[in-house]
Structure 1
Amino acid sequence: MTRPIARVLSLLELLQSGGVRTVAELASRLEVDERTVRRYVGHLLDLDVPVESVRGRHGGYRLVAGYRMPPLMLSDDEALAVLVALAPVTGTASETAAAKIRRVLPARLGGRLDALLGALAFTSPGTAAVPEAAVLLALADAVTHHRPVSIRYPSGERALHAHGLVAHAGKWYVTGIDPVLGEERTFRLDRIASVRTLPGSFEPPEAFDPAERLLAGFATAPHRHEVTLRIQGTVEQIRAWLPASVAVVERGDDGWSHVELRVERLDWLPGVLASLDLPFVIERPDELRDLVVASARRLMERAVSPGTSGAGR
């Protein structure tokens, strides 16, 4: 369930605070245009929420007096999807909507959802499509209580000590350790058919950041080219063009940062290095150095005005 659903719920919270809310005010609070507000009101009407339209100079929308969202308005799966969609969204209205939903959930589901929200991590603000509720809740329980699980994946049954759930680039992942091989593993949740809890428990590693490990895994995955650079700049400056999912960056004591990345193609890197506008040294591969030199030569040739030779400049 995506962010528009979160905004519809935020609209409901605003209307439940009482009084008439103008379309302009609602649009400002929800950060959408007025046409979208009217569409959201239509969604509430489709759910039998009694929204009244008030005409006139100070008109807008209001709820029928005394209306409150009933506890059974959302199914378990719907409540799960909405809360997960709201989790990375900042703002008073969204936070109020999430708290309201949490208060009306049945006790049997509330504890499991608390475990889920505590196990989530996000590589950046935004939302990802929510996978099957049974898979998400089972893995959240495994992360929270350190329970080993067996997951059914396209490659077969796999044992896992799950350490965290991470939303990245519109997808959900679970990171952890394969207890049989003793190696780190990452699985996409939309490819997991089922999760089965196994007997026993495991001791999670100290200072394990699931989101950081996921991004590092993407940055170091096997590819055609291994690139090593030294760039005179801070990690923050370099991250603006080479995010953690692309490159591993380590700051040195001499003002230079060591950068490693693995890529299938090199042709896009000269433009990135030029955009960084920082001194850099290409340690490998030689092919990238040749591409950068060729790119710089083309820029010099294009910078020469028509009728002027490069030698005279």
Structure 2
Amino acid sequence: MALIDTVRGFASEAFGGFDHSAIAVDRVMLLSYGEYPSRRVAYCGIVEHMYDPSMRVLTVLELLQARERVTGRELAEHLEVSDRTVQRYIMRLQDLGVPVESTRGPGGFYRLKPGFRIPPLMFDADEALAVSIGLDALGSIGLGTIAPAAEGAKSKLERVLPLHLRERVNAVRTAMVLERPRRTVDADSSVLSTLAMAIYQHRCTRIAYQRYDGRATVRTIEPYGLMLHNSRWFLGAYCTLRRGQRLFRVDRIDSIEMEKETFEPPLNFDMKEFVYRGLAYAADDYKVEVWLDISLEDALRRFPVAYAEFISEGGGTVMKRGSDDLEDVALSLLFAHCRFEIRRPIELHEAFRRIAERASAIAGVALASSPRTA
């Protein structure tokens, strides 16, 4: 109750003595202070009851932050008040030092001054829960290196949540088990953020990269996109060393530096397709090509698309992939329950023979041990 009373007190001062004693506490805005030209203001709190004038002023502020521009009519309809009342709410925000700009005329609108943002964040109960669970799940998406920062953010969130919201968040977090994948490869968060900025700004980037054989290389790349796949981060980029598009593992990047030079990314680059196609031929032991007597649509449903390329051909579908375990390929073909023809490699026939021998031996044991009837 102490936090709620404090919030109500700040709101009463900030919005001219409105009575907040009967306000239901259903929403929380993280308590913060902002220094504005007119005076020091505490932006706070909490609520769902739209009929309190101060809460309507807060709602106007929230709408202005959420949209680039909003008309007086839109605000009036949302708040169920008159246009003149909306003008009073805007004037109240301006008196508090919030830079609300307005244009008059048929196309008139209100907006916050470009570049201005109110310091507090507003969360309802579900949003607070989503943020908390999201912070817990960072380790499951290869971002375990920022676990200390996530713990710090959770602590700050818990300190400002009302008691009933804090109990709800803690109850869900205690009851839920977030299982990490058996194989999770964490990527350096600073490398990821630098790559993301380079992709956004179309900046060439210099990286120190470890090859699959452990050898260190230095490359200049044109980064196109990032993708998390099977708990591992991948980077699609043009490599000036190899003079072609390449797929890189982010966890193998030891250092990174953006350069001033920019590049023009290819049109319609599909990062997901690029990763799938790259992983389909990542294993060099065997190159597999099989014709499937099913449509492309059926093939995409029956096979994991992440490690193969599928092409419609001859009334069916050709599956191309790399593999170092042909028995695994053979089993996936058997489980697809469709007719197929092996094009390569010849060793795939041998893999089927070994599987058949083991299955036959197991079937023979089962037949020998089953009771016989006269």
Decide: shared fold, TM above 0.5. Answer: yes
Whether 1:48 aligns to 2:108 is: no
Report the counterpart of residue 153 of structure 1 in structure 2. 209
Q: Deviations over 1:89-147 (max 9, x none)?
A: xxxxxxxxxxxxxxxxxxxxxxxxxxxxxxxxxxxxxx9856323x2232222212221
1:24-43 counterparts in 2 under 5 A?
none
| In 2, Cα distance between equivalents of 1:291 and 1:250 | 24
- Going from structure 1 to structure 2, the CA distance change for 1:50 and 1:166 (only over 3 Å counts) comes to closer
Secondary structure of 2:263's match?
coil
- Going from structure 1 to structure 2, the CA distance change for 1:190 and 1:286 (only over 3 Å counts) comes to closer
| In 1, Cα distance between equivalents of 2:355 and 2:241 | 48
- Going from structure 1 to structure 2, the CA distance change for 1:279 and 1:157 (only over 3 Å counts) comes to same
Which one of 228, 232, 235 corresponds to residue 171 of structure 1? 232
Residue 225 of structure 1 deviates from its aligned partner by 1.5
Letter in 1 for 2:313: G
Letter in 2 for 1:49: V
Residue 301 of structure 1 deviates from its aligned partner by 6.0
Secondary structure of 2:195's match?
helix
Residue 262 of structure 1 deviates from its aligned partner by 1.4
Whether 1:138 aligns to 2:211 is: no
Report the counterpart of residue 80 of structure 1 in structure 2. none
Residue 161 of structure 1 deviates from its aligned partner by 0.7
1:275-286 counterparts in 2 under 5 A?
275-286=335-346
| In 1, Cα distance between equivalents of 2:206 and 2:349 | 47
- Going from structure 1 to structure 2, the CA distance change for 1:48 and 1:280 (only over 3 Å counts) comes to same
Report the counterpart of residue 257 of structure 1 in structure 2. 317
Secondary structure of 2:234's match?
strand
Q: Contact 1:143 / 1:163 at 8 angstroms: preserved in 2?
A: yes
Higher relative contact order (CA 8 A, sep 6+): 1
Report the counterpart of residue 273 of structure 1 in structure 2. 333
Letter in 2 for 1:139: L
Report the counterpart of residue 181 of structure 1 in structure 2. 242
Whether 1:232 aligns to 2:288 is: no
Aligned residue-pair number: 210
| In 2, Cα distance between equivalents of 1:267 and 1:144 | 42
Residue 198 of structure 1 deviates from its aligned partner by 1.9
Secondary structure of 1:277's match?
coil
Secondary structure of 1:181's match?
coil
Residue 204 of structure 1 deviates from its aligned partner by 1.4
Q: Contact 1:218 / 1:245 at 8 angstroms: preserved in 2?
A: yes
Q: Contact 1:45 / 1:51 at 8 angstroms: preserved in 2?
A: no
- Going from structure 1 to structure 2, the CA distance change for 1:301 and 1:136 (only over 3 Å counts) comes to closer
1:1-313 counterparts in 2 under 5 A?
16=28, 47-53=158-164, 61=168, 129=186, 131-133=188-190, 135-154=191-210, 155-254=216-315, 256-296=316-356, 298-299=358-359, 302-303=362-363, 306=367
Residue 292 of structure 1 deviates from its aligned partner by 1.9
- Give % identity: 23
Residue 208 of structure 1 deviates from its aligned partner by 1.6
| In 2, Cα distance between equivalents of 1:130 and 1:239 | 30
Structure exhibiting the larger radius of gyration computed from Cα positions: 2
| In 2, Cα distance between equivalents of 1:212 and 1:222 | 17
Q: Deviations over 1:40-78 (max 9, x none)?
A: 9xx558842344259xxxxx759xxxxxxxxxxxxxxxx
Secondary structure of 1:199's match?
strand
Q: Contact 1:139 / 1:162 at 8 angstroms: preserved in 2?
A: yes
- Going from structure 1 to structure 2, the CA distance change for 1:199 and 1:293 (only over 3 Å counts) comes to same
Secondary structure of 1:164's match?
strand
Q: Contact 2:219 / 2:240 at 8 angstroms: preserved in 1?
A: no
Residue 174 of structure 1 deviates from its aligned partner by 1.7
Q: Structure 1, unaligned stretches of length 5 or more?
A: 1-13, 20-24, 31-35, 55-59, 63-126, 309-313
Q: Structure 2, unaligned stretches of length 5 or more?
A: 1-25, 29-45, 49-124, 131-135, 137-150, 170-183, 211-215, 370-374
Q: Contact 2:293 / 2:338 at 8 angstroms: preserved in 1?
A: yes
Alpha carbon RMSD of aligned pairs, Å?
A: 3.7
